[in-house]
Amino acid sequence: MEFTDKALVLKVGAFREADLWVRFLSPSRGALTAFAFGGAKSKRRFCGCLDALCEIHVRVRSSGRGEYLCLEEGSLLAAPRRLRTDWHRLGLAMRCIKFLEAVCPGSQGAPEAYALACDLLRTLEEETEPDTLFAHLFRARASREQGFGPDFERCAACGEPLFHAQNGRGQAHLLFVEEGRVLCRICASRTGAAGRPLQISQESAYVLGPVVDAGPQAWLEPDISPQARRECAAAVDALVRYHLGLAWDRARYRNV
């Protein structure tokens, strides 16, 4: 097997004096690992492109017996600069990328995951002061693109809108994590939903609905209240933990 494709470099490591292993995300094949033999020294085949978060064009082939992948050559398409000198910015980027790698191991959903990752890096590279809530909103968007995540725009029972304005301060709604749905107060009182619900204000429903769907650039625009920030973070943490079995612990996502 041999293929050429764009790729986003996720991790790079050495395993012999001149050889490297490279973990990358492909828009057609998902997350893969390949060996770049001579990659630590070759300037002709891998000139300046085998660094984490670089977007590159690669040529990959299978080994003779199909036991592993070999990265034959790569050319640089884009590389972050600001991310490499700002630890806060880099930490947000890597936390998002690690989550994407955990939820997108194969080719299913790979085009969307790749596009989202590139959009994420461009936004963090350009934004003046990225917000820590950014990582939570990224997880909400990535989970939704992989087929998980409730509808935050309408009540799952009656279909009524859950918000009427960005900063609505009307009656709060309820997120039932185990069932993966949001109900208005009236429907929640009539329905025997499972588990203890989380409160979701109209502002939080707006943020987790259309704002998340609009993409990384839109996540930096709204002025989100402290209450909505807490609700959004708690909702995303609970949904990811219950439905994907993942939790952030000691700088990595682990199964729970």
Q: Give residue-wise pLDDT tens across range 202-241.
A: 999 999 999 999 999 888 877 889 999 999 999 999 999 9
Amino acid sitting at position 191: T
Half-sphere exposure of 223 (CA within 13 A, CB side): 1
Are 168 and 133 within one domain? yes
Is pLDDT above 80 for 34?
yes
Is pLDDT above 60 for 165?
no
Rounded to whole angstroms, how far apart are CA atoms 32 and 47?
21
Average pLDDT over residues 17-35: 92
Are 73 and 22 within one domain? yes
Angle at which helix 87-103 crosses helix 133-145, to 10 degrees, equals 20
Where are the extended beta strands (E) located within 126-201?
173-176, 181-183, 198-200
pLDDT band at 42; cut points 50, 70, 90:
confident
Angle at which helix 226-239 crosses helix 133-145, to 10 degrees, equals 40
CATH number of the domain within which 59 lies: 2.40.50.140
Are 110 and 216 within one domain? yes
Q: Where are the alpha helices (DSSP H) in 38-146?
A: 82-85, 87-103, 110-126, 133-145
What domain range includes position 19? 2-78
Average pLDDT over residues 67-89: 91
DSSP string for residues in 102-126: HH--SSTTHHHHHHHHHHHHHHHHH
Are 106 and 182 within one domain? yes
More confident residue, 137 or 220: 137
Amino acid sitting at position 80: P
CATH number of the domain within which 131 lies: 1.20.1440.120
Is pLDDT above 60 for 122?
yes
What rounded mean pLDDT belongs to the chain? Answer: 88
Q: Which token pair is 95?
A: 């936390």
Tokens 């987790």 belong to residue: 208
In the chain, the number of structural domains is: 2
Least confident of 21-30, 87-96, 104-113, 146-155: 104-113
More confident residue, 249 or 69: 69
Is pLDDT above 60 for 243?
yes
Are 24 and 45 within one domain? yes
Query: Partners of 35 in the beta sheet?
Result: 21, 70
- Determine the pLDDT at residue 166: 47
Is pLDDT above 90 for 77?
yes
Last residue of a domain, one of 52, 78, 104: 78
